[in-house]
Amino acid sequence: MKCNLLTLCLSAALLTPIAPALGSTDNKADMVLDQVLVLSRHNLRTPIVNTGILTEVTDKKWPEWDAKSGYLTTKGGALEVYMGHYFREWIDQNKLLTDELCPTSNEDVYIYTNSLQRTIATAQFFAAGAFPGCKVSIHHQPEIGKMDPVFNPIITNGSPEFKEKALAAMGAYLNGLSLKAGYEELDNILNIKDSQKCKTDKLCNLDNQKNSFIIEADKEPGVSGPLKIANSAVDAIDLQYYEGFPANDVAWGLVDSPEKWQKLNTLKNAYQETLFTPKVIAKNVAHPILNYIDKGFVSVGKGETAKFIFLVGHDSNIASLMSAMDFKPYQLPQQYEHTPIGGKLVFQRWTDKRANKGFMKVEYVYQTADQLRENAYLSMKTPPKHVTLELKGCPIDKNGYCSWKDFQKVMTTALEQ
């Protein structure tokens, strides 16, 4: 069996078939798709950190990018156009919107993003793929570059009690992880023992350094130390691969097996999850976006809001929201990031016409690592990957559907602080 770089090779006997489209079910004729809400991470961007500390922990030169730090790349735009094209085919197949080329109003489609370049641009490219030639408004705060409160994963509880609980939760989460192999792999790739940091600050390996967590009101949860350095370095390396840099330029040609990619991304996933998924933190930082979703999707009747709602934010939004809502653990085949670039939580509200009951189905739709690198075209025939998710408070049937009433209860519980 041939394996592409960054692709897990699994025995065919262990692979479960992946359906070609979202929301497929045995009793399709009885199921009607009423409404969809998508929470998307922006697509491919340049590294947020590509200078400073990264130049100090290696004696090697990092590849240069042709866009500003943290900006959506041209390729990221193309990837999102393809994703939009796939979603439009799925929308049409399930007759969510009227059979017209363009949405007729905000009652059909509503797109709302964080007010950063990469999130706004992601939404623009998605709309170009899903609704080509149509005038579709992209809603966001007027000041570009300033975080929208709905998407800003900051701590809003400034009490000493909350801080104590949050810091303890972060420490406990990180202590439960085994990151030694990942740190050692990154040390070797960076050749950190010959770096400036090793010479001046005695930072010659990452595994035995101490992390210090940061919880402050009106700021994102933070950490200083090796976990932050590792996250920035692995993020830059992942993005090199996705962008299509020559193999010898991706981590200087030193990440040459799925096992190495897996080790490296244990560090990146650990950073994201330690900061944003401990329950006490997640319910606090995800509250604004949960509240927005509840008011615009969950607690309203069918027909009172847009049929297709598309939100564009960040991995921190998805990670904290999933923890606050109590999603069960999941795996994304052929991806190493737990909240990958361009990945989407797709909340689908269905009605069983025969039983006259409402249902919810949630899927993670994402491009694999190699689909990202290869700029793979997406359609119903060549779809992105998708994984059906389950909430602890909303048990699913064999087709992935849970009761709409149970889902409403999940949201009520998630919003409690």
Instruction: Determine the Cα–Cα distance for residues 5 and 17; give it in Å rounded to an integer.
Output: 22
* 24, amino acid identity: S
235 counts as catalytic: no
Task: Say which of 140, 235, 315, 386 is annotated catalytic.
Answer: 315
Task: Say which of 42, 140, 287, 314 is annotated catalytic.
Answer: 42
315 counts as catalytic: yes
**b/e burial code for range 334-353 (CB count within 10 A of at least 16 → b):** bbbbbbbbbbbbbbbbbbee
**b/e burial code for range 140-179 (CB count within 10 A of at least 16 → b):** bbeeeeebbebbbbbbebeeeebbebbbebbeebbeeeeb
* Residue 31: strand pairing partners: 352
Catalytic residue numbers, as ranges: 42, 315
